[in-house]
Amino acid sequence: MVKFATIMNMDCKERIIKVAEEEFPGSTVVFDDNAGSTVRFRIDDSSGRTLSRAFPHYDPTEIDDWSDEKLRSVIRITCGF
């Protein structure tokens, strides 16, 4: 079941990585593989310091509906900006 969820969320995860890298160059997105069918992640800066102040759970279909600007806004808010 987790394998299927990971495959299903791949495009969503790729978008999160792309937008996080644009917003915070050199950052790393770490996904929670135990989040079930939701997407949960944190963002670490290039030195390994965690930027995210919250680790929310999102439904992948919710993220799919967001524009890149909306996703960027969510990522910035999650990181306290």
To the nearest 10 degrees (0 to 180), the angle between helices 10-23 and 68-78 is 70
pLDDT at 4: 40
Q: Cα–Cα distance between 65 and 46 in angstroms, integer? A: 29
With 0.85 as the threshold, say if the pTM is over it. no
As given in the structure block, the two tokens for residue 56 are 């929310």
Q: Note down pLDDT in tens along the chain; length 81 residues.
A: 344 444 445 588 999 999 999 999 999 999 998 888 889 999 999 999 999 877 778 999 999 999 999 999 999 999 988
